[in-house]
Structure 1
Amino acid sequence: MVEDTDAGPTPDADAEIVAGRKPPSARVPLDRDTIVAEALTFLDEVGPGGLTMRRLGARLNVEAMSLYRYVPGKEDLLDAIVEHLIRGLYADPEVLAEPRDGWQDFLQRLAHGVRRMALRHVKAFPLVASRPPEAPWLRPPLRSVDWVESFLSGLLAEGFTDEAAVAAYRGFTSFLLGHLLLEVATHGADVGPLDVVEDTTPDPSLEDFPTVARLSGELSEDHAVEEFEIALEQLLERITALKVEHQG
């Protein structure tokens, strides 16, 4: 077995007990929320591939086995991180759980809250898309029943029909996921097959593509903020049209 040298020395609970001292796990007040929060911090630093139960235990100064009382394994831990991220939207003071100044303000606040979450946790955000949802109709990044309820009931209260509210949910989540996965990729997130251009120097392979080579600098410029705002405005216009169409 390959030794995980990056994790540091493994705490030896047995030796601590023999020496008359409390084992490491007894000195650290563990609970599921503490473990998940520390795992998210660690994941923000190293990405999902670098997160192991042993390394997480070392960061908490406990044996990895101590974590299994609260988190059955890494897969459960990754799911818990996603739940933690989505629940965190409720703690964002700019995000509303229901419309107060109209549905457009409600969706704009929610969209920007999700974007802030993605930019705050660049390496963790792709998990929101990759982890299996609890139900096939839960669409990332709004993949919790609580947020689906808030979203749909909020739009229904603003005069949307059932059909228009569901269509808005589909369009809104597709917009957010597609845009934000591309954006976090530019900040170094591992999003699988997406390739991110970081070097503005024309690649020698572009010699047969003079226009692309000439515009490579412009192509690599970061206009994420402007593109997000424009696309969000266009999305809200489409949702407005959906609302009117289904009311007719």
Structure 2
Amino acid sequence: MTPHEPEEPSRPTGTLGPQPPAGPEKAVTPGGRRPLDRSLILREAVRFIDAHGRERLTMRRLGAELGVEAMALYRYVPGRDQLLDGVVETVMDELYGLTMESEQPGTWQEFLQQMARGVRAIAIEHPKIFPLVASRPPAAPWLRPPLRSLRWVEAFLQGLRHYGFSGPGSVEVYRAFSTFLLGHLLLESSTYAAEPELDVTRDVEFVETNDLAAYPLLMELSPQLSLDTFDGEFEGSLEELINRMAVGPR
């Protein structure tokens, strides 16, 4: 890292466990080009956004990363909007595998803990994509973000039914659960997705922050305000949420 590069906040390690080895993107055709398919394009788009941010993603840049002209991508992805939808789909498939394809826990409390920690793992692993997951319009727009993948929500509701929750009870739990996750994880993921620092002397919108001496209490409490307490806050808030549901299936 050069002296001019802002240091990104450290992320909790080991969240998602070992990552799978690179797949078809490492293969090449006899002509030296990697064979394209929709899955490869979407995985590369996820990698690009993780590295550079959503705003820098274009079909031309993505094609360059894959070693092809942008026009070659349109055979598999009609446009940028569909590309972003596919990115969300890819990340939600990752979440599904992380949370729904393992052995079902013994209690509904452990089930909710497993689900919440899985969503948090995705938010930390893909902080520049998570806001997109929370904001892309789903097929059923009346589902609350950030868990609007129909496949994931269906499995979540089936899980609650397995533990004895009724339909209305499952909806109540889902709403409380998704509201908790949206508030906490959008805030947390934003700290890991920070863009390079702005020069406040050149940005009128941030002119009032130039003289921090004007905010003595903020400066006095800055050691506490700057602490990274997301782990404890997340687990504490999750425990409180589950305790509020302590009556169990209903």
| Equivalent residue, structure 2, for 1:104 | 109
The 1:189–1:46 alpha-carbon spacing in structure 2 relative to 1, beyond 3 Å, is same
Matching residue within 152, 161, 168 for 1:163: 168
TM-score by length of 1: 0.77
| Equivalent residue, structure 2, for 1:120 | 125
Aligned residue type for 1:162: G
Could you tell me which runs of 5 or more consecutive residues in structure 2 were left unpaired when the two chains were aligned. Answer: 1-28, 196-208
Tell me the distance in 2 between the aligned counterparts of 1:222 and 1:117.
18
Residues 51-130 of structure 1: pairs in structure 2 closer than 5 A? 51-92=57-98, 99-130=104-135
Measure how far apart 1:102 and its partner are: 1.0
Tell me the distance in 2 between the aligned counterparts of 1:212 and 1:90.
41
Matching residue within 133, 137, 153 for 1:132: 137
Aligned residue type for 1:158: Y
Measured against aligned partners, the alpha-carbon deviations of 1:100-142 in whole angstroms (never above 9, x if no partner) come to 3111111111111111111111211111112122212222222
| Equivalent residue, structure 2, for 1:198 | none
Moved more, 78-87 or 150-159: 150-159
RMSD: 2.3
Tell me the distance in 2 between the aligned counterparts of 1:233 and 1:58.
46
1:234 aligns with 2:237: no
Aligned residue type for 1:41: R
Tell me the distance in 1 between the aligned counterparts of 2:67 and 2:214.
56
Matching residue within 139, 143, 154 for 1:149: 154
Tell me the distance in 2 between the aligned counterparts of 1:171 and 1:97.
24
Name the larger-Rg structure.
Answer: 1
| Equivalent residue, structure 2, for 1:42 | 48
The 1:96–1:164 alpha-carbon spacing in structure 2 relative to 1, beyond 3 Å, is farther
Could you tell me which runs of 5 or more consecutive residues in structure 1 were left unpaired when the two chains were aligned. Answer: 1-21, 191-202
Measured against aligned partners, the alpha-carbon deviations of 1:151-180 in whole angstroms (never above 9, x if no partner) come to 112112212122111011011111111111
Measure how far apart 1:205 and its partner are: 4.5
TM-score by length of 2: 0.76
Bigger relative contact order (CA 8 A; separation at least 6) = 2
Identity of aligned residues (%): 52
Aligned residue type for 1:134: A
Measured against aligned partners, the alpha-carbon deviations of 1:192-248 in whole angstroms (never above 9, x if no partner) come to xxxxxxxxxxx664545433221022111100000000001011112224x46xx4x
| Equivalent residue, structure 2, for 1:178 | 183
Aligned residue type for 1:103: W
Measure how far apart 1:28 and its partner are: 2.8
Tell me the distance in 1 between the aligned counterparts of 2:103 and 2:112.
10
Give the conservation status (yes or no) of the 8 Å contact 1:54–1:64.
yes
The 1:189–1:32 alpha-carbon spacing in structure 2 relative to 1, beyond 3 Å, is farther
Aligned residue type for 1:66: A
**Segments of 4+ in structure 1 off by > 2 A?**
94-100, 137-141, 203-213
